[in-house]
Amino acid sequence: MSDPDILISEVGPRDGLQNTKIFMPTEAKKRWISALAAAGLREIEVCSFVNPKLIAQFSDADEVVAHAVTLPNVAVVALVPNFKGAERAAKTAARKISLPISASEAHSVSNVRKTIDEQVAELSRIVELRRAGGATFEINGGISTAFGCTIQGEVKQADVLRLVERVVAAGADSVSIADTVGYANPKQVREVFAAARRIAGAKLDAAHFHNTRGLGLANCLAAIEVGVRSLDSSMAGLGGCPYAPGASGNVITEDLVFMLESMGLKTGIDFAKLLDARRVLEDALPGAEFHGHLAKAGLPKGFKEAA
Ligand code: ZN
């Protein structure tokens, strides 16, 4: 298998299910993740090691990771909201953990109940845990609400860039930047990622966009234009947004793969198998809302995947 031009990191089993009220049975989660892997997705964020009392959806996180790591050619990622979550992840074979650190103080306090300073300190503790031999995973600092915040409103670019610097200085292996609430526009994306690249160099990793206001794919394209090679997306745009009824959640994997492949950028993903995985998801979550243009319209006549 050759390396893809763009690595798609499927976040549906974490970001999608986190925002879905219906509990997906553990066996269905395993079936879905297996189907995603079979379609060629090489990185999958499979769960969050959040306190199950806060989000019951991830009460089976250990079992889901244990299954996902048996799948060939898949890097298994887990979200950890804090040091405690990282300790739990360390007991599994997850390849990478991602710690969200908000660029908005107000969002940080409401999301992880810690100030930005306290959350950066959590990152340092996780780096120290691994240095001391207590973990082997890669560590990603995921900067959230980097393009605006539903509580604070505007988030200053200078605040985002200072946080990029702090995440790298704390010892993270990579840093990703997220538009958690779907506020970003392509001009802003180009500016933030280009400036972050000058600070983080090769450690600047993935872009994570939400399609809340319909700009998800445009923002992905803007990120690619300034050198981003890893994009997060979610099958069927699963998740939605509690504040925007009917709105799609994350960028839709199927539509993103279509855009990239039709532009000649290889993703390594097989469309027929990707749509098989979507059927597995639809069966597993009856009554949930599924988005996506490609799944409705199908591939254009004579369409060829990138060679
Ligand atoms: Zn998200």
- For ligand 1, the distance from its centroid to the CA atom of residue 14, given in whole angstroms, is 9
pLDDT digits (tens, 9 = 90+) for 50-105: 999 999 999 999 999 999 999 999 999 999 999 999 999 999 999 999 999 999 99
Sequence-distant (6+) residues with CB within 8 A of 189 are 147, 179, 207, 209, 219, 222, 223, 226
| pLDDT value at residue 245 | 59
Q: What pLDDT, in 10s, does the model give residues 194-247? A: 999 999 999 999 999 999 999 999 999 999 999 999 999 999 999 766 555 566
CA of 132 to the centre of ligand 1 (A): 31
Which candidate, 23, 97, 40, 102, places its Cα nearest to that of 65? Answer: 97
Residue 233 — φ and ψ, nearest 5°? -160, 170
The whole-angstrom distance between residue 253's C-alpha and the CA centroid of its chain comes to 11
Task: Report the distance separating Cα 169 and Cα 27, nearest Å.
Answer: 40
Gap from CA of 304 to ligand 1 centroid (Å): 30
Distance from the CA of 207 to the center of ligand 1, in angstroms? Answer: 10
Q: How far is the CA of 15 from the centre of ligand 1 (A)?
A: 5
Binned at pLDDT 50, 70 and 90, residue 306 comes out as confident
> Which of these, 212, 179, 242, lies nearest to 20 by C-alpha position?
242
CA–centroid distance, 133 to ligand 1, in Å, is 30
Looking at the annotation, which residues are catalytic? 241
pTM of the model: 0.96
182-193 per-position pLDDT tens digit? 999 999 999 999
Q: What long-range pairs does 54-58 form, CB within 8 A, spacing at least 24?
A: 55/18, 56/23, 57/17, 57/18, 57/20, 57/23, 57/24, 58/14, 58/17, 58/18
pLDDT mean over 249-268: 97
For 135-148, the pLDDT digits (tens) are 999 999 999 999 99
Instruction: Compute the distance from residue 252 Cα to the ligand 1 centre, in Å.
Output: 12
User: Distance between CA atoms of 274 and 36, rounded to whole angstroms?
Assistant: 7
